[in-house]
Amino acid sequence: MAIGGTFDPFHRGHRTLIDAAFSLGDEVVIGVSSDELARRMGKAPDRTFGERACELLEYLESKYRDRVYSLHKLDDPFGPLASDPSIEALVVSPETEGRGRAANEIRRSRGLREVDIIRMDFVLAEDGEPISSTRIRRGEIDKEGRILEGAERGMGLGVDSLHPLERRVLAALRGSGGPLDVDGIAAASGLSPDQVRRAVEWLRSKGMVRVEWEVRRVAVPGPEARRILEEGLPEDRLLRELESSGGELGIPELAGRLRMDSQELSASLGRLSRGGYVSISRGRVRALRGEPYSRISLDLLRRLVDAGELPLDGLSPSEASALDELSRRPGVIEVREVRRARVSLAEGAPALQPAAGSAEEVTQLTPEDISTGRWRSLRLSRLDVVSPVPEMHPGRRHVITEYVRRVREIFASMGFQEVSGGLLQISFWNFDALYTPQDHPARELQDTFYMDVEPTEEPPADVESAVAATHENGWRTGSTGWGYEWDPREARRVVLRTHTTVLSVRALHATRDLPVVKLFSVGEVFRNEKVDSRHLVEFHQIEGIVKSPDANLRRLMGYISEFYSRLGFRDVKFWPTYFPYTEPSLQVMVRVGGSWLEMGGMGIFRPEVTLPLGVEEPVLAWGLGLERLIMVDMGIEDARELYANRLSWLRRVPACRSWTWT
Amino acid sequence: MPVVDVDLRRLASLVRWTGPPEGLLEVIPYAGLDIESADGPLARLEYSPNRPDFATEWGIAAYLRGLLGVESGPVPLSASDSGVTITVDPGLRGVRPYVAGMVARGLRLDGEALRQLIRLQEDLHEGIGRRRRRVAIGLHDLSKVEPPIRYEAVGPGHAFVPLGERRPWTVGEILSSHELGRKYGQALPAAGPYPVLLDSAGHTLSFPPIINGEHTRVTEGTDSLFVDVTGTSLTRVLDALSVLALTLSEMGARLGYVGVRYGPLSIRTPDLSSRELRLSARRASSLLGLDLSPSDVARCLGRARIGVREVTGDVVVALVPRYRFDVMHEVDLVEEVAYGYGYPGLSPEARLDPGAGGISEQSALEEAMRDAAIGLGMQEVVTTHLTSRRLLYDLMGRTPERPIRALSSKSGEHEYLRDSLLPGLLWVLSSNAHEAYPQRIFELGSVISAAGGAVRERRSLAFAIAHARAGFTEAKSALNALVASLLGAEPSYSPSGCRRPLIEGRCASVSLGGRELGIVGEVDPSVLYSLGIQVPVSAAELDADALMDLCRDRRGARQG
């Protein structure tokens, strides 16, 4: 049985809920909102969690110190309710009923059994309005529901406001003419005991029924009871053993034959000698009477095992003393108190006419209610619209693809056409065509992923020979070249592309006959790195080229400034840098807050790159970081977060971000 | 990128900078140096690997003096004859044939200068030297050297006291047991012969490219140096030496030439000459987007410490110092013009030219697929293409047909190329096992297979549904809805063609219009159990290329 709340202030309504929980369940789990949770739910508690919990504990200790209960601090609206499989029912007020349904949603989704929701009506103050924390704080009533000022209002309780279960219970009590217990009411009303308990509790809190607790002491068999029935009492076994040995035995002999431990043996011998069944002297035991130790005890125990429980008040005096004796042996008999509610009508309970026209109250409309017109006679219960409801998770793009889409939109709207291409590339396109010498450190196994597959394609023969000559001696590019012997086999090794520039180079070759080309791509690239907060093995590059007779460095700066300004980064600056395949080369920095962050590189492709592809015009090219951009925009410190796929993050990250609509 | 630690106070004095030293931090980036960190007067700078002359404060200062207008034109460099010669043994021809030398006198090597000189040496070893294979440098105390010097081929038994050791080691011993021998020994033929530099007194100056001799060790206070550079390419050997010549000269040394005799042929090193390279002023203007006259171009080059022989019409004949071997082409001079002009003065030129831009057809179709999946309430995830063999095969209970492996991945977590998206999706479910259910996720990405030998890369669309009552029916419903919303058609299902990690008997292959589309079904509980997923999961994987083809067919049918 569970119950929860903020308990600020702790008022009579709360006590009623707690009393109900203790009367309906064996164990009670009580959740108390933490200060943080209370604030989150708009409650602004006057007192701290510690103060509230203390007051609650005082009450619990004063009234239920011998019952089993536990107190939990709630940091979320559900606490143990969302995860504890042993909770079977929840006692709620109309105010917290929604929270119960929400908890059941969660339990369902986790495969836990749903809890029964036992809804208690509001406890009413003297004026017939519910006792609520707000009213108490406003000073209308005190914690007991007494009116502090203003005129007393008339009692507003009518049959009309009774729940159907309540009406059936009242009818059953009226029909019986006297007090009934829960089972009696259930039999008379056709309700389940659980429904009866709920309705009785509601009626009791409204003062319409009286509940008296009848306490009965019963005996129930303990774990040892069956063994004793089979083997007899140890005293009887002892007497039988003595008899079969001629009426006298030494204690060690006796213990050996009976295989009793010394404690049990001495307890048995003690009882037998006290009862005059045996005498003991000088270590020997002699039988004095030839009759069994106690027939009454065994008969009683058999009755108890058969019946499962025996009320103590129905026992004869000799049975009572036998029971008393048995109950001193460990594990044979337990005596328990059983509480039984005797419910009777309170004075002034309304006379019930199962009235025509009295509306049935429902929480959920059904299709039948609507189509049959039954809705006319229904009364829809007022819902608790304030309490939390289950979380819903919409389908969403991953943060990365969301940004990729935005980048695509920007370049497309700046007049660039998108290109794409394979992740696996031969080194020829990835390195050689980009004038990266074959012994360049970037081409080593420790930086680049070489894959154990056959070459995926052949480079075009004319481009290959031009590239080879350019590396070796500059070909007709006007360059000195790298001055080494170019190896065609090295150019055919398959790599996971290390940059999307490979796509630009291929596209340049494919479009070599067009005078003006503006292309972009956004794609994954791979580096053989040790992954840490700043390095990823796979990440995205934003790639673009402009081929045009009048392309120049200041226009390149212009395109990139425009791109970042459309993302909301208005302050951009450029610093010179070095790349093997562009000259001049720049890096772009954007200002974020007070600092400048490096976002990517760019430059004009070297003639050693463009001429072998059959391209005479200058070509502007850039490769910008995507992950860097996302991290800056979202304030993420660790690049691995982007690929961790934590649903808690992906589901909740707001779609409205600094750059979304700039 | 290599880094150099500089003291801005010393740099300011070398540059003759009169403002506060920290003010240099505003200038340094426009010389092509990145400021990695700065702490008071100390700064750590990153420089491009093609500019080893930036490895010391002296080299940086020489360039900055030009950009700041303190000096103009090439850095003056001169040398006189030192009388020192090196004779080269022809037996080294196939081993490590080239050597060059230089003498530097009148140095005052304090600890800082020595530290930076060694940094420069290491930088040249790593970059242009390709880990000493192509070029290696030895610095010696000239006062301990008895010229003339011989560059000789020796056998493994040749012995000397290596730098930092107390007893003689044989060459063979160094190669097999010394740390540096094991690290750099593969630059030499295993069977020998091995190169050494010997002076006339028989001292071994150096065993390149492995280690110097202890005898000529350089210490703080050494005032004269003998420098040797050996290697497999004469051009690179002379390139490296020219950077040392610039740096030592800037440190205040008087340089001396060393004669190197290759049989009858003799050369004088270092090479302090310049190369002619012609630059069109129009080309420079056009590439930079500036309007520069030929004399503007010449002035800019001078600020970038490049010499100019003459200006004829549009052509500026530049003189490129030997140590600027990064200048390979006219466009490299264009960049020097930009440095000389000053990058802060280059402003972006906004150009919003109209153009027929657009996203690719593939992207458009893929966006439609994402929209369809999202409309079904699915959260997109993005997982990596490279993954582990354990996840891809072992945990799925799949036998790899022809896995594609990276040859030398630094991590087993990123070693195999995925041929399916399902393992990644299940991994995501596994790492989110504590999050609220239901979890419905999808991914659209590339998968690569090499079945049958031919490598095939294609796009794939997969989803997985996880909650207490997830099952085949929901996955099939979702798949039907997905295909219907994309193509307006209902796919066919067949109980054959099922694959791990789905369960045989609770899994179907999917096709449409005779085309295989993929599979749908429930994930094997043994897979869920090993991944720690505690709810049932159903999933599907579809060939996105096939979906896109069907989409194109549909459009073609409507138009044709």
Q: Do A647 and B378 touch (CB under 8 A)?
A: no
Quick one: pLDDT at residue A161? 62
Q: Which residue has the higher pLDDT, A595 or A396?
A: A396
Q: Which of B125, B287, B327 to mutate to test the interface with A (most CBs of A within 10 A)?
A: B287
Tokens coding A3: 């119950």
Stretch A503-517: mean pLDDT: 94
List the 499-558 stretch of A: residues with Cβ below 8 A of B: 518, 524, 526, 528-531, 537-538, 550, 552-555, 557-558
The three-class DSSP label of residue B139 is strand
Quick one: pLDDT at residue A154? 32
User: Looking at the complex, does the CB of residue A438 fall below 8 Å from at least one CB of chain B?
Assistant: no
Q: Do B382 and A574 touch (CB under 8 A)?
A: no
At B259, is the pLDDT very low, low, confident or very high (cuts 50, 70, 90)? very high
User: Looking at the complex, does the CB of residue A362 fall below 8 Å from at least one CB of chain B?
Assistant: no
Q: Which residues pair with A317 in a beta bridge?
A: none
> Nearest Cα to B326, choosing from B311, B339, B342, B344?
B339
Stretch B466-479: mean pLDDT: 94
Min Cα distance A367 → chain B (Å) is 25
User: Looking at the complex, does the CB of residue A419 fall below 8 Å from at least one CB of chain B?
Assistant: yes
Q: Do A584 and B34 touch (CB under 8 A)?
A: no
Cα(B96)–Cα(B442) distance, rounded to whole angstroms?
Answer: 59
Stretch A227-237: mean pLDDT: 81
Q: Which pairing describes strands A68-74 and A27-33: parallel, antiparallel, or unpaired? A: parallel
Average pLDDT, chain B: 93
Q: Which of A559, A610, A642, A647 to mutate to test the interface with B (most CBs of B within 10 A)?
A: A647
**pLDDT over 80 at A384, yes or no:** no
List the 313-352 stretch of B: residues with Cβ below 8 A of A: 328-332, 334-335, 338-339, 343, 346-352
Report residue A585: phi and psi, to 5°: -125, 145
Q: Do A584 and B453 touch (CB under 8 A)?
A: no
Q: Do A645 and B347 touch (CB under 8 A)?
A: no
Tokens coding B323: 């140590």
Quick one: pLDDT at residue B392? 95
Stretch A565-588: mean pLDDT: 93
Cα(B165)–Cα(A3) distance, rounded to whole angstroms?
Answer: 80
Give the DSSP H/E element, type plus range, for residue B212. strand B211-212
Q: Which of B455, B457, B485, B534 to mutate to test the interface with A (most CBs of A within 10 A)?
A: B455
Residue ranges of alpha helices (H) inside B268-341 are 281-288, 294-303, 330-341
**pLDDT over 60 at B464, yes or no:** yes
Contact present, B159 and B169 (Cβ < 8 Å): yes
A109 → closest Cβ in B235, B335, B438: B438
Quick one: pLDDT at residue A355? 42
Report residue A200: phi and psi, to 5°: -65, -40
A554 → closest Cβ in B288, B330, B446: B288
Q: Which residue has the higher pLDDT, A337 or A157?
A: A337
Amino acid symbol at B173? E
Residues in chain A closer than 8 A to B414 (CB atoms): 531, 537-538
The three-class DSSP label of residue A60 is helix
A223-227, B148-152, B465-469: which range is least confident on average? A223-227
Stretch B169-196: mean pLDDT: 92
Stretch B252-281: mean pLDDT: 94
pLDDT tens profile B364-390: 999 999 999 999 999 999 999 999 999
**pLDDT over 60 at A142, yes or no:** yes
User: Looking at the complex, does the CB of residue A382 fall below 8 Å from at least one CB of chain B?
Assistant: no
What is the DSSP code string of A344-386? EEPTTPPPP---TTPPEEESS--HHHHHTSGGGGEEEPPP--S
Tokens coding A553: 């460095």
Quick one: pLDDT at residue A5? 86
User: Sign of the C-alpha dihedral, residues B5, B7, B8, B12?
Assistant: negative
Residues in chain B closer than 8 A to A595 (CB atoms): none
Tokens coding B119: 């940094």
Confidence (pTM): 0.70
Residues in chain A closer than 8 A to B290 (CB atoms): 554
Contact present, A508 and A610 (Cβ < 8 Å): yes
Q: Which residue has the tokens 């040398």?
A: B79
Min Cα distance A195 → chain B (Å) is 29
Contact present, B429 and B533 (Cβ < 8 Å): yes
Q: Do A553 and B379 touch (CB under 8 A)?
A: no
Quick one: pLDDT at residue B59? 96
List the 400-419 stretch of B: residues with Cβ below 8 A of A: 404-411, 413-414, 417
SS (H, E, C) B87-134: EECHHHCCCCCEEEEEEEECCCCCHHHHHHHHHHHHHHHHCCCCCCCC
Residues 6+ apart with CB under 8 A from A558: B348, B349, B350, B351
pLDDT tens profile B120-157: 999 999 888 988 999 999 999 999 999 999 999 999 99
User: Looking at the complex, does the CB of residue B514 fall below 8 Å from at least one CB of chain A?
Assistant: no
Q: Which of A645, A649, A650, A651 to mutate to test the interface with B (most CBs of B within 10 A)?
A: A645
Q: Which residue has the higher pLDDT, A558 or A333?
A: A558
At B234, is the pLDDT very low, low, confident or very high (cuts 50, 70, 90)? very high
How far, in whole angstroms, is CA B183 from its chain's centroid?
A: 21
Q: Do A531 and B409 touch (CB under 8 A)?
A: no
Quick one: pLDDT at residue A611? 96
Tokens coding B278: 């012609």
- Peptide bond just before B536 cis, omega within 30 deg: no
Contact present, B61 and B55 (Cβ < 8 Å): no
Q: Which residue has the higher pLDDT, A190 or B390?
A: B390
A451 → closest Cβ in B349, B404, B444: B404
Residues in chain A closer than 8 A to B287 (CB atoms): 552-553, 584, 604, 618
Stretch B404-431: mean pLDDT: 94
Stretch B380-402: mean pLDDT: 93
Q: Do B374 and A583 touch (CB under 8 A)?
A: no
A362-376, A395-409, A562-576: which range is least confident on average? A362-376
At A150, is the pLDDT very low, low, confident or very high (cuts 50, 70, 90)? very low
Cα(A499)–Cα(A526) distance, rounded to whole angstroms?
Answer: 7
Stretch A323-351: mean pLDDT: 79
Quick one: pLDDT at residue A156? 38
User: Looking at the complex, does the CB of residue B202 fall below 8 Å from at least one CB of chain A?
Assistant: no
**pLDDT over 80 at B399, yes or no:** yes
Tokens coding B153: 């081929």
Contact present, B79 and B355 (Cβ < 8 Å): no
Stretch B82-99: mean pLDDT: 93
Residues in chain A closer than 8 A to B336 (CB atoms): none
pLDDT tens profile A97-118: 777 888 888 888 888 888 888 8
Q: Do A110 and B385 touch (CB under 8 A)?
A: no
Quick one: pLDDT at residue A659? 54
Quick one: pLDDT at residue B559? 67
Residues 6+ apart with CB under 8 A from A126: A141, A145, A146, A147, A152
**pLDDT over 90 at A385, yes or no:** no
What is the DSSP code string of B14-70? HHT--S-GGGHHHHGGGGT-EEEEEETTEEEEE--TT-GGGGSHHHHHHHHHHHTTS
Cα(A440)–Cα(B50) distance, rounded to whole angstroms?
Answer: 12
Quick one: pLDDT at residue A658? 57
Stretch A417-445: mean pLDDT: 93
Average pLDDT, chain A: 85
How far, in whole angstroms, is CA A442 from its chain's centroid?
A: 47
Greatest CA span in chain A, whole angstroms? 131
The three-class DSSP label of residue B84 is strand
pLDDT tens profile A34-63: 888 887 776 777 778 888 888 888 888 888
How far, in whole angstroms, is CA B498 from its chain's centroid?
A: 45
Quick one: pLDDT at residue A258? 80
Q: Which residue has the higher pLDDT, B358 or A327?
A: B358
A424 → closest Cβ in B353, B356, B457: B457
pLDDT tens profile A622-642: 999 999 999 988 889 999 999
B359 → closest Cβ in A408, A445, A479: A408
Angle between helices B57-67 and B234-250 in degrees, nearest 10: 80
Cβ neighbours of B473 (radius 10 Å): 11
Exposure of A142 by Cβ count < 10 A (0-12 exposed, 13-18 middle, 19+ buried)?
middle
Q: CA geometry: angle at B247 spanning B95 and B53, to 5°? A: 75
Q: Do A606 and B367 touch (CB under 8 A)?
A: no
Chain A residue with CA closest to B456: the answer is A456
User: Looking at the complex, does the CB of residue A570 fall below 8 Å from at least one CB of chain B?
Assistant: no
Residues in chain A closer than 8 A to B32 (CB atoms): 575-578
List the 129-158 stretch of B: residues with Cβ below 8 A of A: 130
Residue ranges of alpha helices (H) inside A435-477 are 461-473
Q: Do A415 and B354 touch (CB under 8 A)?
A: yes
Quick one: pLDDT at residue A183? 85
Tokens coding A495: 């790599």
Q: Which residues pair with B459 in a beta bridge?
A: B446
Quick one: pLDDT at residue A328? 79
**pLDDT over 80 at A358, yes or no:** no
Tokens coding A652: 């909740």
Min Cα distance A91 → chain B (Å) is 24
A232-236, B92-96, B124-128, B359-363: which range is least confident on average? A232-236
Q: Do A111 and B468 touch (CB under 8 A)?
A: yes
**pLDDT over 90 at A243, yes or no:** no
Residues in chain A closer than 8 A to B385 (CB atoms): 423, 496, 524, 526, 538
**pLDDT over 60 at B25, yes or no:** yes
> Nearest Cα to B337, choosing from B392, B289, B406, B384?
B289
Contact present, A522 and A496 (Cβ < 8 Å): no
Q: Do A561 and B348 touch (CB under 8 A)?
A: yes
Give the DSSP H/E element, type plus range, for residue B484. helix B472-487
Cα(A605)–Cα(B287) distance, rounded to whole angstroms?
Answer: 11
Quick one: pLDDT at residue A159? 52
B357 → closest Cβ in A413, A480, A585: A413
Q: Which residue has the higher pLDDT, B510 or A135?
A: B510
User: Looking at the complex, does the CB of residue B226 fall below 8 Å from at least one CB of chain A?
Assistant: no
Quick one: pLDDT at residue A134? 75
Quick one: pLDDT at residue A365? 85
Tokens coding A132: 């609520």
| Number of Cβ pairs < 8 A linking chain A and chain B | 260
Tokens coding B494: 């067949």
Task: Return the beta strands (E) in B388-454 as ranges.
Answer: 416-417, 439-449
Amino acid symbol at A550? D
Q: Do A560 and B346 touch (CB under 8 A)?
A: no
Report residue B5: phi and psi, to 5°: -90, 125
B386 → closest Cβ in A395, A538, A575: A538
Give the rounded percent of residues in chain B with a pLDDT score beyond 70.
99
B408 → closest Cβ in A398, A445, A526: A445
List the 243-302 stretch of B: residues with Cβ below 8 A of A: 286-290
